[in-house]
Structure 1
Amino acid sequence: MQRGFSIVTKIKAVIFDMDGMLIEAKDWHYDALNKALNLFGLEITRQEHQIVYDGLSTKDKLIMLSRDKGLSQSLHEFINDDETKIYDGNSQQFLQTYVPP
C-alpha cells in the first residue's frame, strides 16, 4: 500500500449538510459579506439579505450591489476574496471549537 493513501483508511464518515440542519452557514456568509462591505461604507440588512440576496453567489450579490447601491465593480475581486477569508476563518473557528481532533 502506498503511503499517500493510508489516510483513507482512517476516515469513518463524511457528512454533507446541504440544508443548514447542522450548521447555518448562510448566517456566516451574511456576516462575512457585511464585514467586507463595511470597509467601503456599505451594508445590507439581514432582512434585505434574506429577501434579495439569499441563495445567490457572492459574485452575483456584488453585481447586484453595483447596480443597486453603486458599489464600484473594481472592488468586486477584493470584497469577494475578503469575504472568503472571513468565512473560512469562521469555519475554522467552528471546527476547532466543536469537532474533536
Structure 2
Amino acid sequence: MTRTLPQPATEAIDLVTVLQALGDPVRLELVRTLAKEDEPRPCSIDKYDVEISAPTLSHHWRILREAGLTTTFVNGRTRWVELRREDVHSRFPGLLDAVLA
C-alpha cells in the first residue's frame, strides 16, 4: 500500500517559500539530482552526492515537500521522492529551468 505524505496543493505553492527552500545548497543539489530523472527516486542517503547525515537529509526532504517542490511516497519501509515539476511550472513558469540552469 502506497501513501503520499502531506504536501501543499498546487494553488497553494508560494514563491517565497519555494525560493527559500531552493536557497540552501544541499536542497538545490537534491532538486538538481531529481530533475535529471522523470521518475521517483529513493530518499536514502546513499543515493545522493551530499555529505550530510540521514536525519539532516530527512529534514531537507521535509522542507522541499512542504514548499511544494517534491512529492514523497511511502511504500512499506521505503520512501520515494519526485520533483513536482509540472505543479511548480504551472504556478511559476520557467522558475525551475532558470534555477537549475
TM-score by length of 2: 0.32
Structure ID, larger Rg: 1
| Larger RCO, structure (CA 8 Å, separation 6 or more) | 2
**Structure 1 or 2: larger strand share?**
2
**Structure 1 or 2: larger helix share?**
1
